């Protein structure tokens, strides 16, 4: 049996967004318990030239909502990118999950050869659907999720591998 585009995308995104939400919950509880201003975590970075945690979450959610929409051939919804608290980041994750959970397998499957073009300023990247999902979306999604995990772990939040990967 082959793996469909839907199976390789939407369920993976949902599963990992759930884990991201749980990690952010742990960070929020840690901040409250230790009486640390939670904006320290939300604005935390691993290095001065890296985006803060809030932007990492924004990019991760943008990647998956964009992927689902592009593979289905519909317009990508735009978010404001103005979240500054754990609760606002959680709302963004929920909004993203609701959006991607609205896609059926029939909307995503068969998109392997769909032409996908991304614009980053004056730079343009072109993919076919399968390469877009496997070579661009998944690596970028996991990079930004891992960075959120690393920022929080580095900041003393007690998160471990199973918080990231889930329990299986």
Count CB neighbours of 124 within 10 A: 9
CATH number of the structural domain 10-161: 1.20.120.450
Residue 141: predicted pLDDT: 98
Question: How confident is residue 1, by pLDDT bands cut at 50, 70 and 90?
Answer: low
Can you name the residues that pair with 119 across neighbouring β-strands?
124
Q: Tell me the average pLDDT across 64-90.
A: 97
Question: How sure is the predictor about 2, in pLDDT bands with cuts at 50, 70 and 90?
Answer: confident
- Looking at every residue in the chain, the average pLDDT score rounds to 96
Domain map (residue ranges) of the chain: 10-161
Q: Where are the alpha helices (DSSP H) in 73-108?
A: 86-101, 105-108
Residue 167: per-residue pLDDT: 79
Per-residue pLDDT of 87-138, as tens digits, reads 999 999 999 999 999 999 999 999 999 999 999 899 999 999 999 999 999 9
Show the DSSP H helices in the chain as ranges. 10-34, 39-42, 53-72, 86-101, 105-108, 129-131, 138-154, 161-165
Section 139-160 average pLDDT: 97
pTM for the full model?
0.96
């Amino acid at each position: 049996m082959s793996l469909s585009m839907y199976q390789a995308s939407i369920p993976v995104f949902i599963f990992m967004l759930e884990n991201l939400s749980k990690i952010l919950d742990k960070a929020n509880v840690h901040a409250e318990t230790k009486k640390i201003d939670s904006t320290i975590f939300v604005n935390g970075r691993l290095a001065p030239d890296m985006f803060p945690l809030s932007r990492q979450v924004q990019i991760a959610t943008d990647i998956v909502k964009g992927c689902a929409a592009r593979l289905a051939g519909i317009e990508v919804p735009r978010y404001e990118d103005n979240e500054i608290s754990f609760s606002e980041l959680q709302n963004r994750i929920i909004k993203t999950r609701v959006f991607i959970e609205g896609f059926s397998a029939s909307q995503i499957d068969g998109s392997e050869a769909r032409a996908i073009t991304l614009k980053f300023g004056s730079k343009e990247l072109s993919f076919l659907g399968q390469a877009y999902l496997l070579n661009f979306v998944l690596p970028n999604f996991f990079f930004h999720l891992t960075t959120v995990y690393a920022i929080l772990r580095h900041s003393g939040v007690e998160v471990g591998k199973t918080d990231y990967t889930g329990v299986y």
